Chains A and B, each alone.
Chain A
Amino acid sequence: GAVVSQHPSRVICKSGTSVKIECRSLDFQATTMFWYRQFPKQSLMLMATSNEGSKATYEQGVEKDKFLINHASLTLSTLTVTSAHPEDSSFYICSARDSGSPPGELFFGEGSRLTVL
């Protein structure tokens, strides 16, 4: 199956700093990528849809100025958590759809665990 890679897998930062998470589709092109957030023992919450070459579409309640998404190429989307605070500590997962795979199947990155001190 298609491969999606996320980096970094773990990051610890101080409150007030910004953190960038990269999501790459390694063997296919993804015009659309999705960013999810998952708190402990909870399910995945869709944050935003990242569209190559255009602005991201954010879900209700997600601050677009805090969670900056850039999808500059067909294989790379980045999520930047700006001015991070402890409540932003979470597991962030990206996913992408490969048009050659079964309809709608999403491939997930390994996830990035953010801890804000």
Chain B
Amino acid sequence: GQNIDQPTEMTATEGAIVQINCTYQTSGFNGLFWYQQHAGEAPTFLSYNVLDGLEEKGRFSSFLSRSKGYSYLLLKELQMKDSASYLCAVRDRGGATNKLIFGTGTLLAVQP
């Protein structure tokens, strides 16, 4: 079966660093994605990991450990506009379409 878990909610302070964890158990694996979604809007792409290790992109970094079925998204120098839901998604290798399966999402609230 497919199972992707994230904390439901997190709170952090402006200027700080926050780490959002994601654990997954899927029938196949062909990459892990992080998306940001503001309320009422479509998700926007943040990062992609297919090999173990850390991928850095500006204030955002994403880490993957395939053997542990684990990833995290690290946000540095938090800004108020970073308040949003962060969605972890796994690309399922099964079938020809490589569909994305999304986790439950983590609602991050950044406080002054």
- Distance from B57 Cβ to chain A, minimum over Cβ atoms (Å): 11
Main secondary structure of the interface of A (DSSP, over half): strand
- The answer to whether A34 touches B42 (Cβ under 8 A) is no
- The answer to whether B31 touches A104 (Cβ under 8 A) is yes
Q: What residues on A are CB-neighbors of B85 within 8 Å?
A: 43
- The answer to whether B48 touches A103 (Cβ under 8 A) is yes
Given the interface pairs A44-B87, A109-B42, the reply to whether A104 lies near B33 with Cβ below 8 Å is: yes
The listed residue (A41, A49, A93, A102) touching B99 by CB distance below 8 A is A49
Q: What residues on B are CB-neighbors of A34 within 8 Å?
A: 99-100
Residues 31-64 of chain A, each 1 if its beta carbon lies under 8 Å from chain B, else 0: 0101010000111111001010000010000000
B11 CB-CB contact with A under 8 Å = no
- How many residue pairs link A and B with beta carbons under 8 A? The number is 59
**In the bound complex, how far is the Cα of B85 from the Cα of A32, in angstroms?**
26
Binds A, one of B13-21, B74-82, B101-109: B101-109
A88 CB-CB contact with B under 8 Å = no
Given the interface pairs A42-B105, A108-B42, the reply to whether A57 lies near B48 with Cβ below 8 Å is: no
Closest to A97 in B: B98
Closest to B103 in A: A43
- The answer to whether B41 touches A110 (Cβ under 8 A) is yes
Give how many B residues have a beta carbon under 8 Å from the other chain's beta carbons: 25
Closest to B105 in A: A43
Please classify how large the interface on chain A is, using the bins under 10, 10 to 19, 20 to 34, 35 or more: 20 to 34
- Distance from B66 Cβ to chain A, minimum over Cβ atoms (Å): 15
Residues of B within 8 A of A (CB): 30-31, 33, 40-45, 48, 50, 85, 87, 91, 95, 97-105, 107
Residues of A within 8 A of B (CB): 1, 32, 34, 36, 41-46, 49, 51, 57, 91, 93, 95, 102-111, 113
Cross-chain pairs A/B with CB under 8 angstroms, 7 sampled:
A34-B100, A36-B102, A46-B99, A46-B102, A49-B97, A105-B48, A109-B42
